[in-house]
């Protein structure tokens, strides 16, 4: 009998424990594309009007002379909408933006332009549903440097290490200083390696007037490599004591 109560208690606990959110994941890869492609669904149509945060990341290998545009299309309560992302050269291009999707409508992506040797397009998204119920399969990572008063330069801190296979992430970075009278602006570099083994850097600098640097960007990270950060003084030398600053780096893995 005691076991029966124990079982009931455990079951109740499993039901009552607060799950965090009903965030759903959107992930669609277009790898090693050698031609442009026509409108292709990136997710199942929602059965109710839904809100999503979408990210597109566009990349091509060194030497590929592609000049391309990726276009995501959706339908919101007002009608058809679209967002474009252009790619030329060897610097990957990324964009993060919210969309509102009408029930039973399509979200598609297509590419136009001229292809070099090949290109990759990654579409990622988070669907927002009813807060406080359900659970999410999205993984997350956090690195906080709170109330720091020294640059980490030249030392780097690891934010995450990708699994064996290449993986897509969405980054949220905020660096700020309490308003102060110095002219010392603290910066952060987010350092990563993309799927073509090229080093990539995203930079943000806090302002001594109290204005934060607020960054959101997608990254494609080569399998087995680490994403690292380093903080430094905007005005050389990069190292040494600094005004107090706060750096928060949060990442969603898809």
Task: List interacting residues with other proteins (CB under 8 A).
Answer: 3-4, 6-7, 10-11, 13-14, 17, 19-23, 51, 53, 76-78, 96-100, 126, 128-132, 135-140, 142, 144, 146, 170, 172-174, 176-179, 210-212, 214-216, 246, 248, 250, 252
Q: In the complex, what is the shortest distance from the CB of residue 213 to other proteins, in angstroms, rounded to a whole number? A: 9
Query: For other proteins, which is the closer residue by CB, 90 or 246?
Result: 246
Residues written for the chain? 254
Query: For other proteins, which is the closer residue by CB, 12 or 62?
Result: 12
For 29, residues 6+ apart whose C-beta sits below 8 A from its C-beta are: 120, 121, 122, 123, 168
> Given phi > 0 = left and psi -120 to 50 = alpha, else beta, which region is 147?
left
**By C-alpha distance, which of 39, 62, 34, 121 is closest to 86?**
121
Query: For other proteins, which is the closer residue by CB, 167 or 222?
Result: 167
Q: In the complex, what is the shortest distance from the CB of residue 98 to other proteins, in angstroms, rounded to a whole number? A: 4
Query: For other proteins, which is the closer residue by CB, 71 or 215?
Result: 215
- In whole angstroms, what is the distance from residue 182 CA to residue 209 CA? 9
Q: In the complex, what is the shortest distance from the CB of residue 223 to other proteins, in angstroms, rounded to a whole number? A: 20
* CA 235 from centroid of its chain's CA atoms: 28
């Amino acid at each position: 009998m005691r076991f029966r109560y124990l079982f009931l208690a455990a079951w109740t606990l499993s039901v009552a424990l607060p799950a965090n959110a009903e965030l759903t994941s959107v992930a669609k890869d277009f790898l090693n594309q050698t031609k442009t492609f026509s409108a292709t669904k990136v997710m199942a149509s929602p059965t109710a009007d839904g809100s999503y945060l979408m990210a597109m990341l566009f990349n091509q290998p060194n030497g590929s002379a592609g000049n391309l545009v990726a276009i995501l299309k959706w339908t919101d309560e007002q009608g058809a909408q679209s967002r474009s992302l252009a790619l030329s050269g060897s610097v990957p291009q990324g964009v993060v933006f919210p969309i509102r999707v009408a029930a039973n409508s399509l979200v598609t992506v297509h590419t136009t332009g001229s292809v070099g040797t090949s290109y990759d397009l990654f579409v990622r998204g988070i669907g927002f549903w009813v807060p406080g119920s359900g659970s999410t399969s999205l993984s997350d990572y956090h690195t906080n440097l709170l109330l720091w008063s020294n640059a980490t330069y030249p030392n780097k801190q690891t934010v995450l290490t990708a699994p064996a296979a290449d993986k897509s992430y969405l980054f949220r970075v905020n660096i700020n200083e309490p308003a102060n009278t110095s002219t010392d602006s603290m910066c952060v570099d987010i350092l990563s390696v993309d799927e073509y083994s090229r080093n990539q850097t995203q930079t943000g600098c806090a302002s001594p007037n109290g204005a934060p640097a607020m960054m959101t960007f997608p990254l494609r990270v080569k399998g087995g490599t680490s994403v690292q950060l380093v903080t430094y003084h905007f005005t050389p030398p990069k190292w040494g004591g600094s005004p107090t600053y706060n750096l928060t780096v949060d990442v969603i893995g898809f």
